[in-house]
């Protein structure tokens, strides 16, 4: 396939508005321990965690306990790994006038993302409280379906690498598109990108990807996406695999990540972001 086609395929999955590492803001929990969990709010390279767990006590009489943690990014830029102090806070009874609070560090906490490529829904949480260390495998907690269907306008950036013919590699592609997203609940979705960039050779290209949805917390994913693209010389057989990750709803629209491999050995890694029309 010509270099241009690789560049356009790239357009289907890289966002100009998103960082290379995903945002872990969500409700996380251990499915085997309903009623236990942690809220994660991430801001750039910082995370604030609020734990809702159970304190020491006799059997089922253990009182519910809240702790908070303030973590900083210690990862390698590709895998999230945050660590920092964990605090126990005492404050005024909610029914009385506020008298202030006292925060005491009682341990540390570490939030480590999955080491599996393109797995953004599993993590390992390790924390210690007064010398007691706990390690748990946690997942994003899914609430209700998000309504993503609609028409959008956006842009995409990304890279193509490892091609058997190095001339097809491209370290940076960007472009504008119109997007139609058709969603069937939490079952499936079809994304149709119509590129509208008069100054580029891919103006007028229409590419579609579709498949079953996986819903984890605030994120959707399509694994093993079906892919088609209307442009002269394009062969569907040239796409070995394709998927969409980090597909979620923003305050103004949608965003996500596209990855794919081709029979020519090219690895496509792309982000897209779009606002609702």
Summarize pLDDT for 65-77 with one digit per residue, the tens: 789 999 999 876 6
What is residue 6's three-state secondary structure? helix
Predicted pLDDT of residue 93: 82
Share of the chain above pLDDT 70, in %: 84
Query: Hey, what are 42's tokens?
Result: 């991430």
Q: Are residues 258 and 170 in the same domain?
A: yes
Q: Are residues 253 and 184 in the same domain?
A: yes
CA pair distance 23, 124, nearest whole angstrom: 15
Domain stops at, among 113, 140, 167? 140
Q: Are residues 154 and 266 in the same domain?
A: yes
Summarize pLDDT for 8-66 with one digit per residue, the tens: 444 444 334 334 467 899 999 999 988 899 999 998 889 999 998 887 765 565 667 78
Q: Are residues 180 and 194 in the same domain?
A: yes
Q: Are residues 15 and 77 in the same domain?
A: no
Q: Are residues 75 and 98 in the same domain?
A: yes
Domain stops at, among 106, 140, 174? 140
Summarize pLDDT for 109-127 with one digit per residue, the tens: 999 999 887 889 999 999 9
Predicted pLDDT of residue 16: 42
Q: Are residues 131 and 174 in the same domain?
A: no
Q: Are residues 136 and 180 in the same domain?
A: no
pTM higher than 0.85, yes or no?
Answer: no
Domain count for the chain: 2
Query: Hey, what are 163's tokens?
Result: 């091609």
Q: Are residues 269 and 148 in the same domain?
A: yes
* 100 phi, psi to nearest 5 deg: 105, 180
Using only C-alpha atoms, the chain has a radius of gyration, in whole angstroms, of 22
Domain stops at, among 70, 105, 140? 140
CA pair distance 22, 3, nearest whole angstrom: 28
Q: Are residues 148 and 11 in the same domain?
A: yes
Summarize pLDDT for 237-253 with one digit per residue, the tens: 577 889 999 999 998 99
Element (H, E) at 42: strand 37-43
Distances (CA, A) of 45 to 39, 75, 108, 203: 16, 10, 17, 37
CA pair distance 49, 21, nearest whole angstrom: 18
Share of the chain above pLDDT 90, in %: 48
Q: Are residues 250 and 172 in the same domain?
A: yes
Distances (CA, A) of 194 to 6, 108, 206, 246: 16, 48, 4, 21
**Segments forming the whole domain that contains residue 128:** 26-140
């Amino acid at each position: 396939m010509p270099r241009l086609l690789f560049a356009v395929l790239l357009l289907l999955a890289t966002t100009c508005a998103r960082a290379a590492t995903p945002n872990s803001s969500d409700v996380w929990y251990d499915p085997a321990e309903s009623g236990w969990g942690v809220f994660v709010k991430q801001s750039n390279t910082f995370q604030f965690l609020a734990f809702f767990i159970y304190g020491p006590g006799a059997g089922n009489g253990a009182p519910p306990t809240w702790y908070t943690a303030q973590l900083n990014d210690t990862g390698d830029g590709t895998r999230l790994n945050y660590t920092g102090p964990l605090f126990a806070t005492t404050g005024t009874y909610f029914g009385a006038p506020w008298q202030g609070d006292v925060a005491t560090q009682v341990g540390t906490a570490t939030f480590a993302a999955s080491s599996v490529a393109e797995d953004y829904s599993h993590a390992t949480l390790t924390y210690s409280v007064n010398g007691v260390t706990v390690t748990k495998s946690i997942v994003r907690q899914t609430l209700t379906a998000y309504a993503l269907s609609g028409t959008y306008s956006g842009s995409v950036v990304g890279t193509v690498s490892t091609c058997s013919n190095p001339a097809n590699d491209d370290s940076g592609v960007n472009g504008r598109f119109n997007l139609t997203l058709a969603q069937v609940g939490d079952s499936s979705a079809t994304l149709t990108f119509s590129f509208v960039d008069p100054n580029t050779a891919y103006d007028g290209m229409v590419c579609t990807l579709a498949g079953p949805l996986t819903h984890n917390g605030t994120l959707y994913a399509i694994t093993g996406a079906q892919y088609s693209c209307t442009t002269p010389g394009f062969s569907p057989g040239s796409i070995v695999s394709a998927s969409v990750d980090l597909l979620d709803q923003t305050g103004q629209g949608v965003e996500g990540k596209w990855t794919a491999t081709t029979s020519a050995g090219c690895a496509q890694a792309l982000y897209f972001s779009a606002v609702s029309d």
